Structure 1
Amino acid sequence: MEGEAVSGAQIIAQALRAQNIEYMFGIVGIPVTEIAIAAQAVGIKYVGMRNEQAACYAASAVGYLTGRPGVCLAVSGPGFLHTLGGMANATINCWPLIVIGGSSDRNQETMGAFQEFPQAVRTSMYGRPGSCYIDIPGDFVNLQVNKSSVKYMECCLPPPVSMAEHSAVSKAASIIALSKQPLLIIGKGAAYSHAENNIRKLVDLCGLPFLPTPMAKGVVPDNHPNCVAAARSTALQLADVIILLGARLNWILHFGLPPRYRQDVKVIQIDICAEELGNNVRPAAALLGDINTVTEQGLALQKSLPMNYYTVFHHIRELIPKDCILVSEGANTMDIGRTMLPNFCPRQRLDAGTFGTMGVGLGFAIAAAMVARDHTPGRRVVCIEGDSAFGFSGMEVETICRYNLPILIIVVNNNGIYTGLDANSWEEMLKFGDPATCVPPVSLLPNAHYEKIMSAFGGKGYFVKTPEELQNALKASVTDKQTPSLINVMIDPQSERKKQEFPWLTRSNL
């Protein structure tokens, strides 16, 4: 007894469904009408279009949005030719797409049949995604075969992801750390890679300004404070380091060339396609790999580097109460805090004021806490100090604990006044003799544990070096509304504010 018979059209439809294909667009006709009918029968959604070019555009957009290729169904001759614009667009955009076209019967192959394009779902998705063409001879569509003789391929796995070389990631991290005006350009490759969570973490961790290309808008929200889209031209012209995340230096980005960019701009390029690396501008660091995976590599490495002012203030801004009274003093600490820590109420900020007096911070904080206790119970006081500024009146921590004032003190510690030395550099300096003669006047003792002053008097002290440690300490201090606390935040000793265009007030050559 013969088994159940299936047609070529049914086999094609079932094979597509086995590969998790969900959508098909096209215009039916001989010999592909039966394929559309069979596709619907197995649960593939078929959308009949009015032009094969538009159908091909639609199928390619499905590939971008879902990561699995959409299918464009076209008849032979002009129908297939109309798909070429969509196929080219998908290939250039790196979007997975499958075009299925009917051709003449097999017995007409020697009479001018079509050449075949690469054929496979996997080929459209793996490596650099793009378009594939499957040519189906007309007589295959209606050919009947025994169902038991058909062997379907298992659904291909999601494309493997590749990591960049560790040395390239380290080089890129070093370039970013030394940059003065870095700019992250986010391309649609980042959107396709579903890298939004890691990219948002990287932007927040490093305080990176970013510019999205049109189809990358939303990877990081447009209303994020670091978005520089409104000042696009200025951002491109002033950046000393450009980080390309799945973006290409093509016409959209002015080819990466002057005068749109600085002559000496350094480019860090991250892309899944090796052929893209170095187009138009030779990169200072080239990272070949999946955007999401490479971003995660960079994120892990950045977390191991010393924090800077902008990283610290980002986390403070996110976690302190919006109605708290902010007290701030110190050179870089106070200046950067003015711009990065917003106020929402009047009489909410106290800093060095007109006279520029250092040492006012803890006295101001104690006064604010006393007034808040009497008039707005529960309102917190957050005192943000540079390590030098804290030294002027640090012993007032005993006063804070004696009167049990729930003040949160955050010392942003760069081992110095303006800038300092790390422990290794300090030790090297001491080899030259008396620190009074060989240590720079702006340097303070490296890694001083100011938090122990708070612990000594009964408050809670935290010594933090990483963003995670800072977040945990902030959350614990904000939640505990009864105990005074001090968070000693270690940052890069060479961290400083961005260079000022008119530095009349801070024109020291140090």
Structure 2
Amino acid sequence: MNTMTQPLHSPQSQPATRTGAQLVVDTLAALGVDCVFGYPGGAIMPVYDALPQGTTRHILVRHEQAAAFAADAYGRITGRAGVCLATSGPGATNLITGIANAYLDSVPMVAITGQVPQTLMGTDAFQETDIFGMTMPIVKHSIIVRRPEDIPSAMAEAFAIAEGGRPGPVLVDLPKDVQQAVCEPGALRRPEADILPAPTSESIAEAERLIARAKKPLFYLGGGVARANASEMVRRIVEESGIPAVATLQGLGVLPPEHPAMLGMLGMHGHRPANMAVQECDLLIVLGARFDDRATGKLAEFAPHASVVHIDVDAAELGKLRFAHAAVCGNLKSSLATIDFEKGEIDAWTRSTAETREKHAPRYDAPGNGVYAPAMLKTLSERVGDDFVVACDVGQHQMWVAQHCRFSRPQAHLTSGGLGAMGFGLPAAIGAKLAEPDAHVFAVCGDGGFQMNIQELATLRRYQIPVKILLLDNAMLGLVRQWQELFFDGNYSEVDLSDNPDFVEVANAFGIEAFGIERREEVDGAIDRLINARGPILAHVRIDPEENVWPLVPPGKSNAEMMEKRHDA
């Protein structure tokens, strides 16, 4: 990896010596890091001692997992590595879920952990854990810094790796003695961005041949489009080619739902027009997606008539789960720029997909007087408009958001896709709002996931971060209950949350404005109040505990075998 050098300080202010901890703070500033999320403790205390002298803002969360989730969301929004900071032992292990979340969703992150002094490493010292070994399967790279003078280059390397190629998390472990040791600071050695290999001319030619001869081509848009910052290019290609498109959970927002080519989300809880198009197409043009099982259903019956053009920055994904007739490996934007999307005659196909989309448009005429969550989410997103950003917890509400909200860009939809980590929503919304202060950031949570990181209401209060929380409360672990209803003979084991607290009172106790609704006629006023609130606010929305997410592809079935709601029931 090539390097560029720059001084950590101007010549006039160059100090004679710096501690390792001061070099951490200096390097964060030199790398342009404006915000870190963390929680102090013994083994990271020297860094916390140096933080007030630096220019990087520190956000004190109330649990290290929240620090990792907030840093994750910051990385998704900005494309730059989010930073989380924790002490050794339990502090470091509390980051692991958030690190795994970033790894599975390809999000740039740098996790900095304190470690016991090197003389105590391996002795089972107080708060010692092998965080290097524990996180090995869920990081792009790990670094244990052994000398203070190595801190600037190690940190710069960590950011370069986290943000380069297919993004992901990098761990930097700092023994306490290294933080406390003194050295003469040298120049910061910043690695130059690696130049990714260009796609082969053979793969490009084969992709163009397959596109030109296809009668039923279909774009399959994944999260890699957002990570490559290629949404505008992909939109232009879709519009110029007229080829219909479907998206994964992470690919939503590349095309807004009203776009004439957009057939919706595919997969287990995907839209019927999207799943039907995949099953009928003769060519899948896969952009930055990995054939995840929640998207494909029964893989052997997924897109059974289709050849595959697969474009991805990670060679390991090409052919991993589905043979690629044209495997195009390289930076997504560069790869797309080299391909001529000259298509054949596809008018009959585009008419057919458009008719299916119109025929199977979602319905919002649910019976009863209670709040119908899909309708409320749709209205909220449309009323906020292009500034709408949502961070979801995991469960039924997550699928309703994906199915019914309007996103102007993929960075507006922050969701735990690969890991499915409950508790993501509130801390992710905090990270998103600090990354993009002018956006209208909403945390959409279920009553189960919300209680996993409910303590972050204190973070909202301390910094007066104007996150809007929409808490959909069915007094159930809804998605688990739905599966128990459909596939476990109605054996509702450990899903009852009817002893939930009064969430309005809980929020008020944290100093957060809050209110509750449970009737449909209250929805418009609640949306207005959320949008117009100047500070953090929580809307507690009681919904029907028996409402299910539809469609649903049963486990082990193909995406053509969707179960759907009976509107006459």
TM-score, normalized by length of structure 1? 0.55
Deviations along 1:22-79, one digit per CA (max 9) or x if unpaired, are 3211111113244245345432221111221221122122222222211111111111
Which structure would you say has the larger RCO, counting Cα contacts within 8 Å and 6 or more residues apart? Answer: 2
Deviations along 1:270-295, one digit per CA (max 9) or x if unpaired, are 11111111122111111101111111
Matched, 1:123 2:161: yes
The equivalent residue for 2:171 is 133
The equivalent residue for 1:142 is 180
For the pair shown, the structure with the greater C-alpha radius of gyration is: 1
Contact residue 25 and residue 71 of structure 1 kept, 8 A: yes
| Shift of residue 186, structure 1, vs aligned partner | 0.8
Is the partner of 2:111 in helix, strand or coil?
A: strand
Unaligned runs of 5+ in 2: 1-13, 133-140, 144-157, 265-270, 356-569
Is the partner of 1:268 in helix, strand or coil?
A: strand
Return the match for 1:272 from 274, 298, 313: 313
Deviations along 1:171-217, one digit per CA (max 9) or x if unpaired, are 11111111111110111111110111221121112111011222322
The equivalent residue for 1:167 is 202
Deviations along 1:393-415, one digit per CA (max 9) or x if unpaired, are xxxxxxxxxxxxxxxxxxxxxxx
Equivalent position amino acid for 1:235 in 2 = A
Contact residue 183 and residue 239 of structure 1 kept, 8 A: yes
Deviations along 1:327-385, one digit per CA (max 9) or x if unpaired, are xxxxx9xx99x99xxxxxxxxxxxxxxxxxxxxxxxxxxxxxxxxxxxxxxxxxxxxxx
Q: Report the identity percentage.
A: 27
Structure 1 residues 3 and 192, CA gap change in structure 2 (3 angstroms): closer
Equivalent position amino acid for 2:282 in 1 = D
Contact residue 312 and residue 318 of structure 2 kept, 8 A: yes
Aligned ranges 1:243-282 → 2 under 5 Å: 243-254=285-296, 257-262=299-304, 264-282=305-323
Equivalent position amino acid for 2:87 in 1 = V
TM-score, normalized by length of structure 2? 0.50
Structure 1 residues 159 and 54, CA gap change in structure 2 (3 angstroms): farther
Matched, 1:196 2:237: no
The equivalent residue for 2:325 is 284
The equivalent residue for 1:70 is 82
Structure 1 residues 196 and 115, CA gap change in structure 2 (3 angstroms): closer
| Shift of residue 17, structure 1, vs aligned partner | 2.0
**Residue correspondences, number:** 306
Contact residue 212 and residue 344 of structure 2 kept, 8 A: no
Question: Could you tell me how far apart the structure 1 residues matched to 2:297 and 2:336 are?
Answer: 23
Question: Could you tell me how far apart the structure 1 residues matched to 2:36 and 2:237 are?
Answer: 37
Equivalent position amino acid for 2:233 in 1 = N
Equivalent position amino acid for 2:260 in 1 = P
The equivalent residue for 1:228 is 263
Deviations along 1:227-280, one digit per CA (max 9) or x if unpaired, are 111412211111111111001111122257244422x32111111111111122
Return the match for 1:205 from 237, 240, 245: 240
Equivalent position amino acid for 1:181 in 2 = K
The equivalent residue for 2:153 is none
Return the match for 2:62 from 32, 46, 50: 50
Question: Could you tell me how far apart the structure 2 residues matched to 1:111 and 1:18 are?
Answer: 35
Equivalent position amino acid for 2:92 in 1 = F
Equivalent position amino acid for 1:275 in 2 = A
Structure 1 residues 309 and 60, CA gap change in structure 2 (3 angstroms): closer
Question: Could you tell me how far apart the structure 2 residues matched to 1:253 and 1:3 are?
Answer: 55
Structure 1 residues 196 and 242, CA gap change in structure 2 (3 angstroms): same
Equivalent position amino acid for 2:54 in 1 = V
Contact residue 41 and residue 87 of structure 2 kept, 8 A: yes
Question: Could you tell me how far apart the structure 2 residues matched to 1:228 and 1:101 are?
Answer: 44
Return the match for 1:179 from 214, 223, 243: 214
Contact residue 20 and residue 181 of structure 2 kept, 8 A: yes
